[in-house]
Amino acid sequence: MVKYVGKRIIYMFITMFLIATATFFLMQTLPGSPISSYNKLNDNQKAIVEKKYGIDKPKPVQYAIYMKNLAKGDLGTSFAFKGKSVNDLLASRIKPSFILGAQAMVFGTIIGILLGMIAALKQNTFWDYGSTFFAILGISIPSFVFATLLQYFVASQWHLLPVGLWNDGWKSSILPSIALAMGPLALSARFIRTEMIEVMGSDYITLAKAKGANGFEIAFKHAFRNALIPLITVLGPVAAGLVTGSLVVEQIFAIPGIGEQFVSSIMVNDFATIMGTTLFFSAFLIVVIFIVDILYGVIDPRIRLSGGKA
């Protein structure tokens, strides 16, 4: 297990290195430069600014400097936010994004799993069709449409919750979390339904029934854990979907999160911030996938991780 985790961590660093390199050079192909909007400056002044931020140097040198700083954990200085370091910028904005993401993930998967279980156990009944309909809605309606609908009805018409911003504490997080949760909710519901139906048809479920187990014991003690395995696989990418989904949802609800900052930094060619945010997202995703792989072994004894003690 220790050996496995060590190996995985080394791989994670290699992945991060590759992502950083790819993003750095891809970013250079963006049209314009961070100072192309500084119209009031003359060429001399532009040269001074370029020198200050180090973007006058040849690309390979810039890359080397960036990677050196990155190794120290320094993401550089933002061009757009007047000398603020990207580390500080991210740190101040992680909290709302993280709260939204975590709430959406927990809410979405729990409700989704419940819906999926109901659909599977009451197959081909009203409950099944209702849950399926709900899940299809969740998959097909883009989060921004859903977010707008929530804003219109819950906030603006019924005045139950704030329309946007991050000023009312937990209350502000409810609507954006629900909007974000629709994706994972629908996905979990579909996955659990399919898996439960398959697992419920397997021999060991018949055997459990033959042992005298009742419906509840069969569904939760025997079937659920086995139906969960494929869902765990997709939850990693779903978590990633939440992060990218939050780009849009944070914009709509005007939430000062990472997603909102990411979008605006691309608009103004803020190289350092784009790099920093991309790397943060990547690191997040890589860690989630790692956790998922560990969870696998916890749920399914057949894939307990080898290496070291078996």
Angle of the 271-299 helix axis to the 2-28 helix axis, nearest 10 = 150
Instruction: Point out which span in 28-36, 85-93, 289-297, 299-307 binds another protein (CB under 8 A).
Output: 299-307
Instruction: State the Cα–Cα distance between residues 156 and 234, nearest whole angstrom.
Output: 35
Q: 290-310 burial string, b = 16+ CB within 10 Å, else e?
A: bebbebbeeeeeeeebeeeee
- Contact by Cβ (8 Å): 197, 120: yes
- Contact by Cβ (8 Å): 182, 143: yes
Q: What is the DSSP string of 291-302?
A: HHHHHHHHH-GG
CB of 223 to another protein, least distance (A): 9
- Contact by Cβ (8 Å): 165, 176: no
Nearest CB to another protein, comparing residues 171 and 211:
211
Instruction: Point out which span in 81-89, 91-99, 190-198, 203-211 binds another protein (CB under 8 A).
Output: 203-211
Residue 79's Cα: distance from chain center in Å?
26
212 is a contact residue toward another protein (CB under 8 A): yes
CB of 229 to another protein, least distance (A): 8
Residue selected from 82, 157, 167, 203 as contacting another protein according to rule CB under 8 A = 203
CB of 93 to another protein, least distance (A): 40
In this structure, which long-range contacts are made by residues 5-9, counting pairs with CB atoms below 8 Å and at least 24 apart in sequence?
7/307, 8/290, 8/293
Instruction: Point out which span in 96-104, 126-134, 138-146, 201-209 binds another protein (CB under 8 A).
Output: 201-209
Instruction: Point out which span in 58-66, 126-134, 186-194, 298-306 binds another protein (CB under 8 A).
Output: 298-306
204 is a contact residue toward another protein (CB under 8 A): yes
Instruction: State the Cα–Cα distance between residues 21 and 135, nearest whole angstrom.
Output: 39
299 is a contact residue toward another protein (CB under 8 A): yes
Task: Map residues 214-233 to x or -, x wherever contact with another protein holds by CB under 8 A.
Answer: x------xx--xx-------
Residue selected from 50, 56, 74, 300 as contacting another protein according to rule CB under 8 A = 300
Nearest CB to another protein, comparing residues 7 and 211:
211
Q: Which of residues 134-163 bind another protein (CB under 8 A)?
A: none
CB of 132 to another protein, least distance (A): 18
Both tokens of 33, joined, read 């430069």
Length of the chain equals 310
309 is a contact residue toward another protein (CB under 8 A): no
209 is a contact residue toward another protein (CB under 8 A): yes
Instruction: Point out which span in 87-95, 140-148, 197-205, 246-254 binds another protein (CB under 8 A).
Output: 197-205
Cβ within 8 Å of residue 150, ≥6 positions away: 175, 178, 179
CB of 99 to another protein, least distance (A): 33
207 is a contact residue toward another protein (CB under 8 A): yes
- What Å distances lie between residue 6 and 14, 130, 223, 236, 298, CA to CA? 13, 46, 33, 20, 18
Q: Which of residues 71-90 bind another protein (CB under 8 A)?
A: none
List residues near another protein by CB under 8 A.
202-204, 206-214, 221-222, 225-226, 299-302
